[in-house]
Structure 1
Amino acid sequence: MYSPELLSPIADFETCLAAVHNGCDAVYVGVPGWNARGRVPDLTRDELQNIIEFCHLRQVRVFFAMNVLVFEQEIRQLSSYLKDLISLGPDAFIIQDPGLGILIKHIAPNQEIHASTQMTLSSLESVQFVEKLGFKRVVLARELNLNEIAHIRKHTEIELEVFVHGALCISYSGQCLTSENFGGRSANRGQCAQSCRLPYDIWVDSVLYPRPAAPYLFSPKDLCALDLVPKLMEIGVHSFKIEGRLKSPEYIAATTRAYREKIDGLSASQSNQQLESLFSRGFFSGWLQGVDHQKLVDGKNSAHQGVLIGKVHKIQNNEVWVKNPAVIPQAGDGCAFVQALHPDLGGRIYHASTAKPNFLILQFARNFPLKKISVGAQLWRNNSPSLEKSIRQSWENTNLQRTVGVQVFLNAQPGHHLSLRLISPTAEVELFDKEKLQKAHNPTHPPWLKDELAKLGSQPFAAQEIKIQLKNQPFLRQKTVRQLRQKALQLLEEKVLKNYPKPAFNPKTYDFHTPNSKHKSEKALLNILLRQPHQLEQISPDLPIDTIFLDYDYGQALEPSLNLIENLGYKTGIATLRIHKSGENKHLKQIIAYNPQAVLVRHWGALSFLQNNMLNASFIADHSFNISNSVSAQWLLNHGIDRILPAWDLNQAQLHDLLKNSPKSRFEVALHQYLPTFHIEHCVFANVLTSASSFPQCKIVCRQHNVEVEDHKGEKHFLQSDAECRNTLFLGKAQSMLRLYDSLRSCGVNRFRIDLLQESAEQAAFKINTYSQAINESISIEEAFKQIGVHEKYGISEGQLFNTTQWQDRKQLKK
């Protein structure tokens, strides 16, 4: 009978105990220094090996999360480290970087690899395209609903992994550059700064829109899909994934147990309220049941809030009265009083009583500021030592720990060696005592024998069946049986681990192709990306422009602009949307119908669809493919891409390293752009400016207003929607690569892009002309940089291009 895999997060050996003893089928753990949870303390090689052996003995698989981008110098030095990691015996690697997957499969062709959710796989076409890389499983984007998951499942044999519980990223994973732009640290390198959990102000048509009680515009509630487990099982999802490598062992234990029981159809041993007490920003089904912009983000909270006990009914005699409480806390539990427009007040309960019918009466410490609490304030339990203590028993109490059943067979007769055979699901051992048995004077069956055989102690095994065959009254010593049992168990452990599949290493080293350093000098040309039809109006002919790409919003006509581009003498281009979902092909079919000379492709799924339906266009892979090393680049170039824009995560040194080892003429670099920070399924326009849960109830409010978002530094950024109602928050301060232009030309780059956003026709023409003059050497680079900066609404920057420092996490030191 089909049973999905339950996949739990771990960070160390204690969280491993918590996950395994509460019923997970597999765990995932970060590769030291190379995973998407940089704040988790790194494990040593020995610690990783201990975890793998512990899990494999209990029939639990172990996945190594290596879900980050890998830069050029790094990938060329990784082979020996990867071989050492593979030799530990992980069941799979979870990866984001295509080049890393290629390298792993070269080193060990039978090593299983899984495509991380960081690859932004959100459609059937995207899944089918990346299958070419050798993935056995894909972790689908969290933004898919049940019907979309079912569609993918129906049309592919690849294993599907779906998140069912834990924190939600507001941005599509792999497409979030907020940490990179706001804090100089990249989420694609495991250094997420949790920018989505910060408060923001929103400006509508240049007027501050008041939201004092709900400033967390981008902080979604936590995912809880317990009630959807039967439906996900019906769809045929292979793996149910729990998020939480930064969470406590108690959280991991309780969450794993809850989903284990749900999958197995057992009665729940704990309530959702207990899960909320351990960690919750409020539970919701995420996107699994479709888009609901009001319920996903309420803006009131961005941190752990726990479970709601109720509202304060009255305060008298230094006691807090709560009517009809949803939860009965205990003395010692931590609570927080939440009041609109006031800071939360927290403390521990000194005494709890339900002596009065329908009321919970609480006492706090004498110095607790009860005078600051108002009637009607919400009371939340956010910590429960007694609950955590009871949960810890699930892995600390040996009677509750997980074991693997073994069959035990003992044969004894005088004149023969005592034999003991142990059979587990994956291994079998048989041992003989060195001495032959004597005949017993007392013919009775030893009363201690069965108990002695059942004593498997702290081993991972438990006696599932014991069969004892005694012939002709053998004389048995308890010590002899005990020693034979202990030796057999040790040998069984060794054999179980020995029988586990081993990697087959390729004796050949990977050939990192380095192209000829000589390159043909070609004229530098600009590619222009326009987002508004009027931005074409004042563009002149005879500029050093190769292609003009149109990235228009829904409803804006493309044909007049395409005709104008042709009349100006430039090549025509159209950009795809940043995300592609199954069935969202209307925009792609429109591109095919207009048949431009080039397509700026932004998603694996769009690339797959267009390649199957469009023969003559050039395909340019945008930054969103996150190409950061030559191995990834070459694979993409070999699979239908004509030019590549490198990942936004590269600084100037890393960019030059990539170009040095790649065909430079097939790369394009953005000289001017507004970097996208969040790219999200959630619509802030609908959430803030309407009460609508989705389109079309929102009445397309995004077309009616100009919206900017102000961050905690007081800097404003542009919010825009696309044809599928997804929002992008563009950095308000434009980024220019002008000061890298000369060095990029020296190494052979000849295509440069200018991205426009909200510019008027005059502003668009000015910027394009200024950059054209710079590359034609009519004005100096410094003069062009200065002129562009003067005309930018919020100034100009060079982002992280010249940042040579590496972010260092304040990891907890191990004791």
Structure 2
Amino acid sequence: MVELLSPAANLKSGLAAVEAGADALYVGAEVFGARQKAGNSLEDIGQLCRRAHLFGVRVYLTVNTVLYDRELCRAEELIWQAWQSGVDALIVQDMGLLEMSLPPVELHASTQTFNLTPDKVRWLEDVGFQRVVLERSLSVKEIRKIREATNVELEAFVHGAICVGYSGQCYLSEALCHRSGNRGACAQPCRSRWNLYRSGRLIEQNKALLSVSDMNLSERLAELVDAGVTSLKIEGRLKDENYVVNNTAYYSNKINELGFERVSKGTSTALFTPDPAKSFSRRFSTFLFDKRKPTTSLLNGTSGEFIGKIVAIGRDYIELDRNFSINNGDGLSFAASGTNVNASEGRRIFPNAMNDIELGVEVYRNFDNSFEPSAVRKIDVDIEFLDGIIVAKDSTELTAHIEYQYDELANNSERAAENIRVAMGKGGDTIFNIVEVEIKKTPFLPISKLNDLRRNLLGELTQKRFDQYQRPIRKTTIAHPELPVAKIDYRYNVTNRLSRQFYEKCGAIQVEQGYELEAARGAELMRTRHCIRRELGLCGDQESLYIENNGRRFILEFDCRECEMMIINYGRNSKNSF
């Protein structure tokens, strides 16, 4: 079976994702999630679980930051509270959590645990994880190799923004402004503008050298599933409800078209035409899904719907070569810049800013202010109206019944039967779509009584659906398989005593503190398959390169054998992470 996993920034967004066709949701609590601005109360998480579980939709809690010693007790308390609220699994990064007394909740290894190789994924499987979230930069060929070497469930991103550096191994934000990505506070320096120097000469100025286009694997889903991926994940816990509904509905339709069996139940109907181009993006690509190649950085990037070329420029307006319906507040993208629309008149658009505007430049809309996607999800139900009893059976073969009393059969059986069909056929604001009402007896019952019977019957069926839902239970025990190295460095992200204890049980004899606790000189701040030298056609060039941002300079080093680039904070540091 295939799972479509959607983000939920909040309760409203999560509920909307369920309606749009998600099979599972990932959501953060108020603390310890890798997106600090996307936290939710336990009450909201519980409400989301109750609604999601009616459709068999699972809810995964992100507890995927590294923890400090002072936070360990609160984290353990949160996990138990989340379990009691109904969550189905934890997505974790910090191995210190595994040394706690945990409920029997499934454990998923976050992409932040740097899951790039068969050896690493197999090790995490041996630890006791039920699922591993794969590194975004893996090719389909590499995913197949991981599947061949392991049995653990595999989860892969299929859509959304890409962390250019290996997940969990990026310390650039912490080095620049003391905002750690491993603590959920990344300042996204990869989206900033940088200067590039070659042997001391400035060769690129104020360019988005580290910003790569967004992922869109919507046409490659069958290959991913064939390669062994169980869960297809949409990125975006900081994105708004429109983004979530639009992309969830789009990917849900794609999965259905391929004929894959779904994890959850019910039929989702989009009340709009899903289109990823309608939601903000930084262009789309398949990234490194096929092979190592230039990763289309945003040196000259555009995104969204193409709306035309600039043929005239006024003091405060641009004129396009074609008609296109534009709304006030829409977002525009051109060259390496973007702005919003203040007003429009025919082919003339009055932007909020006039930066990077030149004749002939292509203009794209990357935000449609009028686009309000919505969807509704229902479970089909057949109703039998029998003598003294009414039975409802849903599309999953679950049944409920209620009894009723009547004084006499209807004199006009046809009219009475029609009243019954109309009254019992109203699904209303329930999760049910009444497909058929079969009548074996036609008693005389007032409309108000029929409405009460329907509400009670569907209420019983709703409760049955809630009661029959079974959360996955962790069947594995936490183990401590041997590490490939005895000395582990800061890239293992050890920031608390329990994490240290875990790795020592795995055979580590020397454990460095995480970068957040001790910013080592010469540290490798980022390792990535996005190579600036290759992007600029300088592959194999031996001249020194460094990048600069607001006066801070970082050396670039290259592992050509592995086709990787490293950003170094003054000096060298050997690779020591698997």
Q: TM-score range by the shorter chain?
A: 0.7 to 0.9
Per the alignment, residue 276 of structure 2 pairs with 275
* Cα offset, 1:167, TM superposition: 0.4
After TM superposition, the structure 1 = structure 2 runs for residues 229-248 of structure 1, keeping only pairs within 5 Å, are 229-248=221-240
CA–CA distance in 2 between the matches of 1:371 and 1:348? 15
**2:409 aligned with 1:439:** yes
Per the alignment, residue 226 of structure 1 pairs with 218
Q: Is the 8 A contact 1:201 1:709 kept in 2?
A: yes
CA–CA distance in 1 between the matches of 2:464 and 2:142? 43
**Coordinate RMSD, CA, aligned:** 3.2
**2:384 aligned with 1:409:** yes
CA–CA distance in 1 between the matches of 2:219 and 2:142? 18
Q: Is the 8 A contact 1:336 1:380 kept in 2?
A: yes
Question: Which amino acid in 2 is paired with 1:727?
Answer: M
Per the alignment, residue 667 of structure 1 pairs with none
**Residue ranges of structure 1 left out of the alignment (5+ in a row):** 353-361, 396-400, 511-603, 611-617, 652-669, 691-697, 735-754, 758-815
**2:169 aligned with 1:175:** yes
Q: Is the 8 A contact 1:258 1:269 kept in 2?
A: no
Per the alignment, residue 262 of structure 2 pairs with none
CA–CA distance in 2 between the matches of 1:69 and 1:495? 40
Distance 1:188 1:331, change over 3 A: closer
Per the alignment, residue 75 of structure 2 pairs with 78
After TM superposition, the structure 1 = structure 2 runs for residues 305-344 of structure 1, keeping only pairs within 5 Å, are 305-314=303-312, 321-323=319-321, 328-332=324-328, 334=330, 336=332, 338=334
Per the alignment, residue 494 of structure 1 pairs with 463
Per the alignment, residue 299 of structure 2 pairs with 299
* Cα offset, 1:55, TM superposition: 1.0
Name which structure has the greater RCO, CA cutoff 8 Å, separation 6+.
2
Per the alignment, residue 356 of structure 1 pairs with none
Per the alignment, residue 253 of structure 2 pairs with 261
Q: Deviations over 1:2-48 (max 9, x none)?
A: x42111111112212331222111111112211011122x3222211
* Cα offset, 1:328, TM superposition: 3.5
Per the alignment, residue 480 of structure 1 pairs with 449
**2:59 aligned with 1:59:** no
**2:401 aligned with 1:455:** no
Q: Is the 8 A contact 1:4 1:239 kept in 2?
A: yes
Q: Is the 8 A contact 1:426 1:499 kept in 2?
A: no
Distance 1:381 1:505, change over 3 A: closer
Question: Which amino acid in 2 is paired with 1:57?
Answer: L
Q: Deviations over 1:768-815 (max 9, x none)?
A: xxxxxxxxxxxxxxxxxxxxxxxxxxxxxxxxxxxxxxxxxxxxxxxx
Q: Is the 8 A contact 2:327 2:341 kept in 1?
A: no
Q: Deviations over 1:696-725 (max 9, x none)?
A: xx2x22xx111221112x121111122413
Q: Alignment partner of 2:418: what SS?
A: coil
Q: Is the 8 A contact 2:383 2:390 kept in 1?
A: no
Per the alignment, residue 148 of structure 1 pairs with 142
Distance 1:239 1:132, change over 3 A: same
Q: Alignment partner of 2:449: what SS?
A: helix
Distance 1:466 1:123, change over 3 A: farther
Q: Is the 8 A contact 1:5 1:239 kept in 2?
A: yes
Q: Is the 8 A contact 1:108 1:503 kept in 2?
A: no
Q: Is the 8 A contact 1:405 1:463 kept in 2?
A: yes
TM-score (norm 1): 0.63
Per the alignment, residue 263 of structure 2 pairs with none
Q: Alignment partner of 2:527: what SS?
A: strand
Q: Is the 8 A contact 2:334 2:356 kept in 1?
A: no
- Which of 485, 488, 491 is 1:624 aligned to? 491
CA–CA distance in 2 between the matches of 1:197 and 1:55? 35
CA–CA distance in 1 between the matches of 2:495 and 2:440? 66
* Cα offset, 1:449, TM superposition: 0.9
Q: Is the 8 A contact 2:548 2:554 kept in 1?
A: yes
Q: Is the 8 A contact 1:620 1:642 kept in 2?
A: yes
Question: Which amino acid in 2 is paired with 1:187?
Answer: G
Q: Which moved further from structure 2: 227-236 or 133-142?
A: 227-236
Select the structure of larger CA radius of gyration.
1
Q: Is the 8 A contact 1:626 1:647 kept in 2?
A: yes
TM-score (norm 2): 0.88
Q: Is the 8 A contact 1:337 1:373 kept in 2?
A: no
CA–CA distance in 1 between the matches of 2:532 and 2:90? 35
CA–CA distance in 2 between the matches of 1:385 and 1:54? 29
Q: Deviations over 1:167-218 (max 9, x none)?
A: 0011101001111111112110100111111111111112222x24x61111
Q: Is the 8 A contact 2:15 2:52 kept in 1?
A: no
Distance 1:637 1:17, change over 3 A: same
Q: Alignment partner of 1:118: what SS?
A: helix
**2:566 aligned with 1:728:** yes
* Cα offset, 1:636, TM superposition: 2.1
After TM superposition, the structure 1 = structure 2 runs for residues 787-802 of structure 1, keeping only pairs within 5 Å, are none
**2:551 aligned with 1:705:** no
- Which of 611, 634, 638 is 2:501 aligned to? 634
Q: Alignment partner of 1:407: what SS?
A: strand
Per the alignment, residue 264 of structure 2 pairs with none
CA–CA distance in 2 between the matches of 1:431 and 1:269? 34
Per the alignment, residue 100 of structure 1 pairs with 97
Q: Which moved further from structure 2: 452-461 or 631-640?
A: 631-640
Distance 1:429 1:207, change over 3 A: same
**Residue ranges of structure 2 left out of the alignment (5+ in a row):** 260-269
* Cα offset, 1:102, TM superposition: 4.4
**2:348 aligned with 1:363:** yes
Per the alignment, residue 379 of structure 1 pairs with 363
* Cα offset, 1:337, TM superposition: 6.8
Distance 1:756 1:313, change over 3 A: closer
